[in-house]
A = this chain, B = another copy of it.
Amino acid sequence: MGKLVTKITDRDMDFAAWYTDIIREADLVAYSSVKGSMIIRPYGYAIWENMQNYLDREFKLLGHQNVQMPMFIPESLLNVEKEHVKGFAPEVAWVTQGGDNLLEEKMCVRPTSEVLFCEHFKNIIKSYRDLPLLYNQWCTIVRWEKTTRPFLRSREILWQEGHTMHKTEKEKFAGAIETYTIEAMMYDGVALQNGTSHYFGQGFAKSFGITFLDEKNELQTPYQTSWGCTTRMIGGVIMTHGDNHGLVLPPKIAPIKVRFIPIKESEKINEVIQKISSQLNKEITYDIDHSDKSPGFKFADAEVKGIPIRIEIGERDLENDVVTIVRRDTLEKIQIKIEDVPMKVEELLEQIQTNLYERALKRRDSMIYETDDYEEFKEIAATKPGFILTNWCGNTACEDKVKEETGLKSRCIKEDYEEGLCPFCKEKSKYKIYFGRQY
Instruction: Decide: B116 and A70 in contact? CB cutoff 8 A.
Output: no
- A89-114 to B contact mask, C-beta < 8 Å, 1/0: 11111111111100000110100000
- A47-79 to B contact mask, C-beta < 8 Å, 1/0: 011000000000000000111111111101100
Contact of A45 among B30, B68, B123 (CB under 8 A): B68
| A95, closest chain B residue (CB) | B93
The answer to the question of A42 belonging to the interface, with a C-beta cut-off of 8 Å to chain B, is: yes
Supposing A42-B65, A156-B70 touch, asked if A98 and B93 sit within 8 A by C-beta, the answer is yes
On chain B, the residues within 8 Å of A109 by CB distance are: 71, 95, 109
| A94, closest chain B residue (CB) | B97
A40 to B144: give the CA distance in the assembly, Å. Answer: 27
Instruction: Decide: B95 and A99 in contact? CB cutoff 8 A.
Output: no
Contact of A39 among B34, B46, B67, B95 (CB under 8 A): B67
The answer to the question of A278 belonging to the interface, with a C-beta cut-off of 8 Å to chain B, is: no
Instruction: Decide: B67 and A116 in contact? CB cutoff 8 A.
Output: no
Instruction: Decide: B95 and A66 in contact? CB cutoff 8 A.
Output: no
Supposing A32-B120, A99-B144 touch, asked if A66 and B42 sit within 8 A by C-beta, the answer is yes
Instruction: Decide: A99 and B92 in contact? CB cutoff 8 A.
Output: yes
| A91, closest chain B residue (CB) | B99
Which of A169-184 touch B at CB < 8 Å?
none
Instruction: Decide: B123 and A30 in contact? CB cutoff 8 A.
Output: yes
The answer to the question of A37 belonging to the interface, with a C-beta cut-off of 8 Å to chain B, is: yes
**Which of A134-142, A263-271, A320-328, A386-394 lies at the interface?**
A134-142
Instruction: Decide: A93 and B100 in contact? CB cutoff 8 A.
Output: no
Q: List 8 A-B contacts (CB under 8 A).
A: A33-B76, A33-B77, A33-B119, A39-B120, A46-B65, A71-B140, A94-B98, A96-B96
